[in-house]
Chains A and B, each alone.
Chain A
């Protein structure tokens, strides 16, 4: 047996190897993925999570919205800078003086990505589909402002022709509303209002079949600026420019790649090594560092949304409003947000974000441990005695985890209850919430349009986005009444009462109001931030830095 080298020689060799790896790993200018994509005109986007589906009628999340808004176009589009309605697939529209009847005139050149013309019937088919009770779309309530839409959606009327939408001819649509809805036009950038390819859906299972193959790249036909080119689950979704789009000449991007990177740290690293143009998020600890360094690619935009915990109100112990309030009261938002969340976010002592369509709630959820303990004792658990172990569910993310850990400890200290943390993948997590298979779940709501109704309607009983089992007749009545009041002050005053009830019943525990931190490459041009997080993909373009463009 040969004599082994001495131990110190081995240690020295190790040190040299590590040093060499560090030195060589750090240098060397190589062409990055994003750099190459900039030359090719392709935008690389971090998209947070793998979309649940690409069927506009069966999704409810933000990652899905980003992809779908590239693929489809509604009747009306939004100016990304001002959020004012601008013509989309409809070239113009008229509104009746009472604000109840909208007539849309489709443009001539509007085509699907297979060259078929987009007709009024395509829109009606889509709206009928999402409202059909057997499809069980979670987000069908977005169309409830249309006359009789809710009745049809809940199965009270069976005949779709009674719903207030009508094709006057192939290119004219008339929509009759239940009541005047000031934000009606801005609804059309939301995927629930997009047309869907009737022929493809009918060929692959029919109108009310869920999760059929029509959203696969080989079948999918869309009418937006882009069409689906590739969908590799958990890897990438690629869309490419749709040559049949009516305004294809103005679309400057050749394509977009959406990467479902759930881990914000990985996404951050991918961006910094040149793998992305735009990130979905920035990890909380990094935001702090970037702000200190004045990292030029960090952007923090206002974002109309609330981060909250939802409670499953259908199972004990949380079927008791006192228990829910006790949990809500013992969450110290101010300290939590200041120490753990930061990024310019504000603690949320109420649900609808401040100044949503001119509305700011007067109701407040205070931090009051004494009262919380008293309520828990009244509910039969003095000092947390006999309180069952509950689970706090969140979708896998370090940031959610950190917040959950802090909250877990707050509840433990204030109430003496034991809370376990449970994380799930986005799709599983959505499914757990939809089937009410949780105790407490981290959640958030991002406004689709700037009106409190968009937030408050989520907790109407039976709403697809309710996901708490919460049902209060009084709340339902107030929210619906508010929506029907024409003049703004009266409407907002009714919403105030509704939010009072919501906070008192506490099916949700607001935590903070979002801001939207993200990293953006300077290669991306014509970027127009707004508080809805609405990205107008068709007006964006990418351009390599001058020295790189040959």
Chain B
């Protein structure tokens, strides 16, 4: 364990090994992984920029100048303009707000619901487990698009609904993954020890089982974010998601693809923004998985 210690550990007394918490260990290991750290910084920067968009955007996202049309990047329009003469830099900024919001909110929903549901099913086992997982199977069999269309018919089209709809579908796979993990962990000695110690069930679940499944959860979550962002683009294309003139990265890319031969900037900039986000998420997810892998470090 000595080589994994942070610099402050060198001043500690030698004989007693201080019980470093999981999170502390993880943070130290994450800091050592430069790609992951860079990912974290980039994501944080994107988040800040998104929050400040209304103040830093040079134009309005709906301001069009038809006479101008699509012009390549210049001093006045850093990313150029789209076919309706709207400033692309502004639209990428505003689009990022939507995309990040949808990506993180929907992933958050799926994370909360999926992890709790899967962990309960896996831990309780037996008939409860069978019942809960059959319910997941039933939800799986509902076609996603039809599900969303039904929701929009009843509740009208708005962005909150979009989170709900996407989150409501995305937690299913998460639940399955967590259930599998928990089922294998349940047999381990440390869980048996908690039973011996007489810990209440919810405590076992929340403090001992779920933290041990964090690795796969985080990896899967980082994969969910990009998928959700692309799903949002698809739904918006069908007219069920973001309403024009508001835009999102997915929609901007879709527009850009149509005219990429003539106006590459309309594709490059939104794609770049999406790629940076996805790369950051992937590196961060990778780093987090290594950092949080308790079983790899505690032996």
Q: How far is the CA of A420 from the CA of B67 in the complex (A)?
A: 23
Q: How far is the CA of A408 from the CA of B238 in the complex (A)?
A: 18
List the B side residues contacting A289 at CB < 8 Å.
259, 261-262
**Do B245 and A422 have beta carbons less than 8 Å apart?**
no
Q: How far is the CA of A423 from the CA of B243 in the complex (A)?
A: 11
Q: Which of B84-98 contact A (CB under 8 A)?
A: 84-85
Known: A398-B255, A424-B239. 6 other contacts (CB 8 A): A265-B258, A289-B261, A289-B262, A396-B239, A406-B66, A408-B244
Mark interface residues in B267-283 (1 if CB within 8 Å of A CB, else 0): 00000000000000001
Q: How far is the CA of A422 from the CA of B34 in the complex (A)?
A: 46
Q: How far is the CA of A409 from the CA of B60 in the complex (A)?
A: 12
Is A412 part of the binding interface, using a Cβ–Cβ cutoff of 8 Å?
A: yes
Identify 27 residue pairs between A and B in the complex whose beta-carbon atoms are under 8 Å apart, listed by A's number: A1-B296, A4-B290, A7-B34, A7-B283, A265-B258, A289-B262, A332-B66, A335-B66, A335-B67, A336-B66, A339-B66, A339-B67, A339-B84, A396-B239, A398-B258, A402-B83, A405-B245, A406-B66, A408-B244, A408-B245, A409-B62, A409-B84, A409-B245, A412-B62, A421-B239, A423-B238, A424-B239
Mark interface residues in A277-295 (1 if CB within 8 Å of B CB, else 0): 0000001011011001000
Q: How far is the CA of A265 from the CA of B35 in the complex (A)?
A: 38
**Do B66 and A401 have beta carbons less than 8 Å apart?**
no
Mark interface residues in A422-456 (1 if CB within 8 Å of B CB, else 0): 11100000000000000000000000000000000
Q: How far is the CA of A412 from the CA of B244 in the complex (A)?
A: 13
CB-CB under 8 A for A420 and B245, given A265-B258, A283-B258, A340-B66? no
- Interface residues of B, count at CB 8 A: 26
**Do A396 and B238 have beta carbons less than 8 Å apart?**
yes
Is B53 part of the binding interface, using a Cβ–Cβ cutoff of 8 Å?
A: no
Nearest-neighbor residue (CB-CB) of A413 within chain B: B64
One of B35, B62, B239, B255 near A422 (C-beta < 8 A): B239
- Give the one of B67, B239, B255, B290 with max A CB within 10 A: B239
Q: How far is the CB of A367 from chain B (nearest CB, A)?
A: 12
Q: How far is the CA of A58 from the CA of B243 in the complex (A)?
A: 33
Count CB-based A-B contacts (< 8 Å).
64
Q: Which of B59-83 contact A (CB under 8 A)?
A: 62, 64, 66-67, 69, 83
Q: How far is the CB of A410 from chain B (nearest CB, A)?
A: 8
Q: How far is the CB of A106 from chain B (nearest CB, A)?
A: 48
Residues of A within 8 A of B (CB): 1, 4, 7, 265, 283, 285-286, 288-289, 292, 332, 335-336, 339-340, 396, 398, 401-402, 404-406, 408-409, 412, 420-424
Q: How far is the CB of A279 from chain B (nearest CB, A)?
A: 15
Q: Which of B102-156 contact A (CB under 8 A)?
A: none
Mark interface residues in B248-265 (1 if CB within 8 Å of A CB, else 0): 000000010111011100
Q: How far is the CB of B173 from chain A (nearest CB, A)?
A: 24
Q: How far is the CB of A83 from chain B (nearest CB, A)?
A: 34
**Do A7 and B258 have beta carbons less than 8 Å apart?**
no
Q: How far is the CB of B143 from chain A (nearest CB, A)?
A: 14
One of A265, A285, A404, A412 near B83 (C-beta < 8 A): A285
One of B66, B238, B243, B259 near A285 (C-beta < 8 A): B259
List the B side residues contacting A405 at CB < 8 Å.
84, 244-245
**Do A288 and B258 have beta carbons less than 8 Å apart?**
no
Q: How far is the CA of A423 from the CA of B245 in the complex (A)?
A: 14
List the B side residues contacting A421 at CB < 8 Å.
239, 243-244
Nearest-neighbor residue (CB-CB) of A392 within chain B: B244
Q: How far is the CB of A9 from chain B (nearest CB, A)?
A: 12
Nearest-neighbor residue (CB-CB) of A293 within chain B: B261
Q: Which of B223-258 contact A (CB under 8 A)?
A: 238-239, 243-245, 255, 257-258
List the B side residues contacting A412 at CB < 8 Å.
62
**Do B239 and A339 have beta carbons less than 8 Å apart?**
no
- Give the one of A1, A4, A339 with max B CB within 10 A: A339
Nearest-neighbor residue (CB-CB) of A420 within chain B: B243
**Do A285 and B258 have beta carbons less than 8 Å apart?**
yes
